[in-house]
Amino acid sequence: MGAIVYEPPAVATDFLSAIMPTPDFPAIPLPLIFGPFDPSGASHLPIDAAICAGLGAHAGCVVTAIHVQDSAGTETIQRLAPDLVDDQARCLLEDMAIGALKIGPQYDPETIATLAQIAADYCTLPLVLQLCAPPPVPDLDDLDPEETVGALLELLLPQAHLVVVDAHLPEQWASQGLLSSTRADDPIAALHELGAPLVLCSNAALGPGLNGLVLHARDQASRRWPWPAPRVRTGDADSLLATVLCCLLARGLDPDAAISQAVTTTTTLLERHFHPGMGQRILLHAAP
């Protein structure tokens, strides 16, 4: 009796041909996202991975904290040990051809110092830094928020290629004396002096009753874009914008082109939101 040779069905062969890369298959952008895990899917991990997939990228994700959170707000935050954060990141960076980094909200100086060392070791990769104030939750009561902000400004800001921040936050930090710079009277100039070449401000005043985005580049005229009044939390919109920017930089776009395209893309994505629970509306990232 002759040997039995298995021949896969034609449909399976066609399916494998469709999903398996061919020699001329384009490289997939590989952004690496550092941030908290938001179980509500409103922002940060894991929704960052979904956003990247929608833009044709494959995101590596490094969890730095775990939220207990719903659509109304954050109840508690469990920070991960800095050594575990470091192990997650270096495992991926040593294995994959990561194209860009995004660092989202961080809550303690030790984790910030760990991320700063990783960024320094991979300083050729574009880094998008989303600056945020630590949220008022009991789990962070053991930390001095000013020390956390100081670590962000001293250790991470100088390594960022592009900073995304709500326009009111640098003004608040300046009033608190946290922008220790010769230009502390001008918060954006102070951020430039601290090392950030590009600062993209959301929720910035463009005119009477009109807010938008303003890009501040060192020694250059600012650029402005209209920005829809968010139907979701401002931080969620900023997180989306930073993630889109990271994807485009990982694809190889220069910062100027990435910013212009990210503004257009994010403005469209902000129009899609829904009300899944008893709290606030959240962004909708499911396929239309």
- Which CATH number goes with the domain that contains 270? 3.40.1190.20
Assigned domain for 1 exists: no
Is pTM beyond 0.75 here? yes
Assigned domain for 110 exists: yes
* E-strand stretches of 155-281: 162-166, 198-207, 210-217, 223-226, 273-274
Cα–Cα distance measured from residue 219 to residue 196, given in angstroms and rounded to the nearest whole number:
12
Record the tokens describing residue 126, joined without a space: 């574009």
149, 150, 154, 160: CA torsion to nearest 10: 10
Assigned domain for 79 exists: yes
Q: What is the number of structural domains in the chain? A: 1
Place of tokens 């044709």: 56
Tens digit of each residue's pLDDT, the chain (288 residues): 444 444 444 444 443 444 444 445 568 999 999 999 999 988 899 899 999 999 999 999 999 999 999 999 899 999 999 999 999 999 999 999 999 999 999 999 999 999 999 999 999 999 999 999 888 888 898 899 999 999 999 999 999 999 999 999 999 999 888 887 667 689 999 999 999 999 999 999 998 888 899 999 998 999 999 988 778 888 899 999 999 999 999 999 999 999 999 999 999 999 898 999 999 998 887 766
For 36, the domain range is 27-283
Cα–Cα distance measured from residue 73 to residue 120, given in angstroms and rounded to the nearest whole number:
33
Assigned domain for 21 exists: no
Assigned domain for 56 exists: yes
Assigned domain for 147 exists: yes
Assigned domain for 273 exists: yes
Burial 19-48 (b: 16+ CB within 10 A, else e): eeeeeeeeeebbbbbbbbbbebbbbbbebb
Assigned domain for 20 exists: no
